[in-house]
Structure 1
Amino acid sequence: MTRVARAVLWPLAVGSLLHIAVRSSTGNAYDLAILWRGGASLASGGPLYDSHLEFIYPPLAGWLLAPLGLLPFRAAVVVVVLGGLAAAVTAAVLILRLVGVRADSPVVPGVLLLLAHSRPLIGLLAQGNIDTVLLLAEASVIALLMARRDVAAGVLLGAVCAVKPTLAPVVLALVLLQRGRALLAAAASGIVLTAVGLLTVPDRDVFITGVLPLLADGNRDVLAPYNRSIHGAAVELGLPGGLDVALRVAAFGLACWVAWRRRSGPMAPLEVVPLLMLGTMLASSFSWANYGIYLLPLLLTAARPGSLVRSWPAWAGVYLFTTTNAWHIEDLTGLPDVLLRLLPLWGWLLLLGTCAVAALRSPPPGAPEPAGAVRPGWSPPR
């Protein structure tokens, strides 16, 4: 059966990945257009930030994008799409290896097939976004932490945050995991590289006086309908500001509690890092639906005994934030339309709630095992 499964799944996975590569390479790549213009301007000696503040990455990102600005836009799209797809596939394979799935297992093409049809990956590649590269960085930091290469993990994390601070919640993960050396390395590399970017970009003041306040306020107003955080839902549903803040604090606190409960053991980084990413996505002033890609390490722990996501409610939540079906109903307006557009948020909340229940039922780190308990991976004598 294993051979048959591989024979069926590999052609489906490869075909799906090729299809998404071709479709994305010929699309509009709206996000990349913004990055490409900023990089091209900086490469030609002009400013990095535009007057409408569409480019909102830190200054260091401008120098990394400058080479793309030297290419024709369509060529840049192909480069970013193929590179992003390769990064996502590499990240998935790396995480599967960390959870003990062998390369010849049919699970590998099965995961790649599902990934190729998931809303986050399709959306990121279609827009020419670089978050798939950050997914690989997240997986690499986790792998380095599990290998006890804390300094390397910290340096990589700091460098990534200096380019795009989406992985900033991983810094808190280092605190919960008690990885002091990684924390110091992340702070050092992040501060140094951020300073390099600020000192070398001509319009650095725009980032400080324009971009940072814009992000703190939840991004541009025109993007509000695409906000899938609790704050975005509160605005859409007209909830009081106090309730909005309380729900955001509660969601982030719950994610931190679950991460704290799972902070011990060799597999802890695989759960703690994405759990804190999930809490931040919920509590942030602005979160794209495509940010669900960062939860991949947590989802793939389902291959291991004792995982938080080995239950059907968890995967019902996964379906809600990964389905490509927009659930659009013609002429639907008002509250029902809003609730359907917020499906990724409901999926994130369901996943977090399921993880909290699973964590509550599992013993806390360091707790003595009850008499007669069977450890995962150990079989009693027959």
Structure 2
Amino acid sequence: MFLRQLEPRTARTTAEVLNFALWPLAILTVLHRVFINAVNYHITNDFTPVYNASLAFLNHRPVYNANFSSTDPAYLYPPSGTLLISPLALIDPEKSRWAFILVNAMALLLAWYLLLKLFNYTLNSVAAPALLLAMFVSETVTNTLAFTNINGCLFMAMLVFIHLLLKRRDLWAGVALGLTIAVKGPLLAPLLLIPLVRGQWKVFITALGIPVALNLLAWPLIVDYKQFWTRTLPYLSEARDYFNSAIVGNAGYYGVAEWLTWTMRITVGVLVLISLWLLYRYYREDEVFYICNTSGILITAAMLLGPLGQMYYSMFLFPMLMTVVLRNSLLRNWPAWVAIFGFMSYDKWLSDRWQSIGRDLEYLRTTFGWGLLLIVVFCVLGDRYLAARRDGRLEAGKSLDPAWMHPEWVADEPEVTLAPRTKAAASY
């Protein structure tokens, strides 16, 4: 039966045409990204400091002794993360790196499948190859594999968290999120706001308990445990002016005045708070829409407004971007996709002919992309709110969507008998 699916046939429908075209493109792109691009040498190497730290941990040598004056990647995982990733050093560096690439690739494929299931798509749908291709041509997936970063595993854990949260399996949802916090600290911690406002308190037991327990377990095993808290953690709270697409990072690079930097951060922060409030008040019953958009806003805000935001963190926005398939999506407009191009495209804008302009475009496109995405979401929600208020449709917990976005609403409304028009009404 499986082999019959591979039999060359002439497509008869538009869906078949798209499937026949997209599946080969998607599969070959995945193979290229995993086995060619990722295995090739890259100047940026996130794996070596992690491997060296794991090796030092297993041999009871200092772990937190990175040189922060260098622009090379430094080891920044918390003690709980050191404990979890230490098995990497059980084999030689080259084979360990290849294994880590494969683990991340498999995690990304599982995340792709979970994302399809989240929006009720099957592997037979056109969405399956389209999403797979979109993920693996993006900068975030390409460089996560090439730099051999752990973000693919964290993204899978995020999708597991969302699925379990929707199924009200709160303790297990907390386990998934807690492991990401244990490995990479606060990167996905803002997602805790979602169970908080939904009243899913049990999530916090495991989401916070697991990192605390793992840190306590790692304490006697790491010879320089205190160095993380006294040296590495303060460095993480600082905003560096290189490889940093957060507002404060690019502001530092271009020498923007501090008052203007804070003005931009506060202004965007206000837009974020208003967007989150509108989503909670009017969309919380539409669970997939609410959770995916809220998670995207929270993570984008953390990357843009925090001390460090790197382009390949945009992977965690895929659930929000996938909402474009929903009729009431906030992203069905061209400015949203200008923003998405800014932080998802693998294209380089560095120019040999126009060096200054090209450098600015390359360094700023991620920052502007994240910022524009938050502005678009705020504007769409704000426009829907104002339209609903004009029409008298404001009601807590009820969607701001106009009726044309939901044809089923019209079918459910009671039939209204209209009185015959008068001549005056007819002429009007």
TM-score, with structure 1 as normaliser: 0.92
Give the aligned partner of residue 25 of structure 1.
Answer: 39
Q: Against the structure 1 CA distance between its residues 147 and 191, is the aligned structure 2 distance closer, same or farther, given a 3 Å change threshold?
A: same
2:365 matches 1:343: yes
Residue in structure 2 matched with residue 256 of structure 1 by the alignment: 273
CA contact (8 A) 1:59 1:198 kept: yes
User: Secondary structure of 1:48's match?
Assistant: coil
Q: Which moved more, 1:353-362 or 1:326-335?
A: 326-335
> For the residues of structure 2 that align with 1:344 and 1:59, how far apart are their CA atoms?
30
In the alignment, the residues of structure 2 paired with residue 270 and residue 258 of structure 1 have an alpha-carbon distance, to the nearest angstrom, of: 13
For residues 23-42 of structure 1, the C-alpha deviation after alignment (integer angstroms, 9 at most, x for no partner) is 20233461001101111111
Seen in structure 2, the aligned counterparts of structure 1 residues 50 and 372 have a Cα distance that, compared at 3 Å, is closer
Aligned residues of 1:252 and 1:282 also touching (Cα < 8 A): no
SS of residue matched to 1:378:
helix
Q: Which moved more, 1:5-14 or 1:21-30?
A: 21-30
Are 1:90 and 2:110 matched, yes or no? Answer: yes
- How far the C-alpha of 1:368 sits from its partner, in A, is 5.2
Give me the whole-angstrom Cα distance separating, in 1, the residues matched to 2:122 and 2:192: 30
Cα distance in structure 1, aligned partners of 2:156 and 2:299: 14
Shift of 1:380: 4.4
Letter in 1 for 2:203: A
Query: How many residues are paired up?
Result: 378
1:79-107 Cα offsets, whole Å, 9 max, x none, are 11111122122212211211222221111
In the alignment, the residues of structure 1 paired with residue 155 and residue 97 of structure 2 have an alpha-carbon distance, to the nearest angstrom, of 19
1:223-302 superposed matches below 5 A:
224-263=241-280, 264-265=284-285, 266-267=287-288, 268-302=290-324
User: Structure 2: which amino acid aligns with 1:312?
Assistant: W
What stretches of structure 1 of length at least 5 have no aligned partner? none
Matches within 5 A, 1:140-159: 140-159=160-179
* Other-structure match for 2:194: 173
Partner residue in 2 for 1:68: 88
Structure 1 Cα separation of the partners of residues 129 and 33 of structure 2: 15
CA distance in 1, matches of 2:263, 2:229: 28
State the partner residue of 1:205. 226
CA distance in 2, matches of 1:167, 1:46: 30
Q: Structure 2: 5+ residue runs without aligned partners?
A: 1-13, 69-73, 386-393, 416-428
Task: Read off the aligned partner of 1:316 and give its amino acid letter.
Answer: V
Contact between 2:403 and 2:409, CA under 8 Å: does it hold in 1? no
Going from structure 1 to structure 2, the CA distance change for 1:330 and 1:365 (only over 3 Å counts) comes to: farther
Structure-2 separation of matches of 1:150 and 1:58 = 25
Deviation at 1:256, TM superposition (A): 3.1
> 1:370 deviation in Å?
8.8
Q: Find the partner of 1:113 among 133, 146, 162.
A: 133
Q: CA deviation at 1:371?
A: 12
Provide TM-score, normalisation by structure 2: 0.82
